[in-house]
Amino acid sequence: MDADGLPLVGPGVDLTKVGAIHSKRMLAFLNHFIIHTTRFLNKFSCVCETKLSDITTRIQRLETTVNILEAKLASIPGLENVTLETTPPPAAPEPSNLPALPSSEPADGSGIPAIEATPEPAPAVMTVSQDPRYIKYFKMINMGVPVDALKQRVLLDCLDPAYLDTPNAPAPPVNQESDSDDFSSQDNSSDDDFSD
């Protein structure tokens, strides 16, 4: 037995001659272990929740700052059609995977090397979120305006509100007749306003 009254267990101890720990004492050890582990897990959980709430607050502040910055940039005239195109840096191929260089001698033996045609890149398709007619609505969505309320406003502007649910869809074609009608009706209404 050691100083605490526990049996010493080692390679030279015959376990058949060692007495069992009293059941009440074993129960006290288990209770202490469970209580200690529960306190640790509760404290760990509180620390994690505190850190997560701090990170959530920081993220919300960053989102608000970005939304304010986007609104300020949108108010500057002349920046409506400016887009930033980022291309990832090309990865350097490994020397063992390099393709073999084509021979400078043509296959027909004419002495003139053949020029291969390179395919033209496909024209970029403008999405609904990039369409000047819809861009202000997507900015409002980013600022937290409910989509259902915006759909009513889109209908009032004679646009299709279904496109608010699919921002990455191709932009609808511009209807020249309806736009010219809108402009003429706006001109007439402004003339009526000034005639009073």
Q: Give the model confidence (pLDDT) of 136-176 as tens digits.
A: 888 888 888 888 878 888 888 888 888 888 888 888 877 65
Q: How many domains does the chain have?
A: 2
pLDDT band with cut points at 50, 70 and 90 for residue 184: very low
Residue 188 lies in a domain: no
Q: Is 13 a member of any domain? A: no
Please report whether residue 164 resides in a domain. yes
pLDDT recorded at residue 178: 46
Would you say how long the chain is, in residues?
196
Tell me which amino acid residue 125 is: V
Cα separation of 42 and 47, whole Å?
9
- 132 lies in some domain: yes
Domain boundary among 35, 55, 76: 76
* 170 found inside a domain: yes
55 found inside a domain: yes
Highest mean pLDDT among 11-25, 57-71, 126-140: 57-71
Residues 6+ apart with CB under 8 A from 27: none
Q: Domain span at residue 32?
A: 22-76
Tell me how crowded residue 164 is: count the other CB atoms within 10 A of its CB. 20
110-119, 126-135, 149-158, 160-169, range with the lowest pLDDT: 110-119
Interval 34-92: pLDDT, tens: 999 999 999 999 999 999 999 999 999 999 999 999 888 888 877 666 676 677 766 65
Does the residue 114 lie in any domain? no
Residue 108 included in any domain:
no
Report pLDDT for 65: 93
The band of 186, judged by pLDDT with boundaries at 50, 70 and 90, is very low
Residue for token pair 């900015």: 139
Which pLDDT band, with edges at 50, 70 and 90, does 195 fall under? very low
Comparison of pLDDT for 192 and 49, the residue scoring more: 49
- Give the residue with greater pLDDT, 83 vs 130: 130
Task: Give how far Cα 96 sits from Cα of 23, 90, 148, Å.
Answer: 70, 17, 57
Q: Which residue has the higher pLDDT, 147 or 178?
A: 147
Residue 44's pLDDT is: 95
Give pTM, 2 decimals: 0.30
